Amino acid sequence: MTTGTLITVAPTGAESAKAEVPALPVTLDELLLTAKECEALGAAVIHVHIRDDEAKPTLDQGRLRETVTALRESTDLIVQLSSGGAVTDPEAARLAVLDAAPDMASCTMGTVNFGDDVFLNRWEFIVDLHTRMQEKGVVPEYEIFELGHLTALQRLLGKYGLPHGGHVHVDLVMGVPGGMPGTTATLVAAAQMLRDLPEGTTFSATGIGRSTIPVMLASLSAGGHLRVGMEDTVTYAKGRPVESNMQLVARAVGFAQLAQRPPLTTAEARTLLGL
């Protein structure tokens, strides 16, 4: 069992509207402030979605590059860009995310119903994303929304080789309407399937909405890591809106310390992830 806990903060996402969630960081200045605050608490990775001047999701290449540069200058966080964007973003724009030269990028391992929408990830697109990351020296985080996505990952690695850096890290995204449920039983099943992946594979888990706390506790007990943030939940407790991403990171850090698995430093996280 891993002795420390990798904590990732996902501060913004592409789903929530600023008008409905005023605390959501959507400008570069808001994102930088959030990044600094969360790093000080114990986050080591930041999973980044960006917004335009109207606070709508965008994959604008200039904004992506500016964001990566600013985060590197202001923090020591591992910068992980989302290659998922919004469910409406075209494949070409999602692939071009890698041109912003992040440390890491997400790589979703299959199509999934996403609420009333469909998050489309064709096999050919997944292969293209994986191989381009190998070529560009970007470390992937394989996003798993369904247990079958772990089988797809096994197939991908078998046919196209290990990711850049040689370490396989997955994020179990649990509780999305249309995806796998955010339950202990499902996390245990996923952990069993991880045994079919290369030795040393690690995982984080993300609980969407009300599954946040059950997933955090289950992941820690199974030797996994944590991803939290306002991308995944905007309610701290029933009837109590999240005030900031700091609030969610602080809770995750507290749980990790109770589990006697304190947060990994950014240097330790880079070693773990093969950066």
pLDDT in tens, 26-35: 999 999 999 9
**Across the strands, what pairs with 204?**
171, 225
How far, in Å, are 57, 185, 272 from residue 166 at the CA level? 32, 29, 11
Say how far apart CA 86 and CA 170 lie, in whole Å: 20
Using the structure block, give the residue that is written with the tokens 């509207």: 17
Q: Is the pTM of this model over 0.85?
A: yes
Per-residue model confidence (pLDDT) at position 72: 97
Contacts of 92 (CB under 8 A, 6+ apart): none
Give every residue of the chain whose pLDDT is below 70, as ranges: 1-2
* Residue 17 backbone class (left: φ over 0; alpha: ψ -120 to 50; beta: rest): beta
| Percent of all residues in the chain with a pLDDT value above 90, rounded to a whole number | 94
Average pLDDT over all residues of the chain? 95
pLDDT, tens only, 150-208 = 999 999 999 999 999 999 999 999 999 999 999 999 999 999 999 999 999 999 999 99
**48 class by beta-carbon count within 10 Å (0-12 exposed, 13-18 middle, 19+ buried):** buried
Question: Minimal CA–CA distance to 105: which of 80, 133, 78, 69?
Answer: 80
Quote the DSSP letter at residue 260: T
Per-residue model confidence (pLDDT) at position 1: 45
Per-residue model confidence (pLDDT) at position 249: 98
Per-residue model confidence (pLDDT) at position 145: 97
Say how far apart CA 117 and CA 82 lie, in whole Å: 18
Topology of domain 7-273, CATH: TIM Barrel (3.20.20)
Give me the residue spans of the domains in the chain.
Answer: 7-273
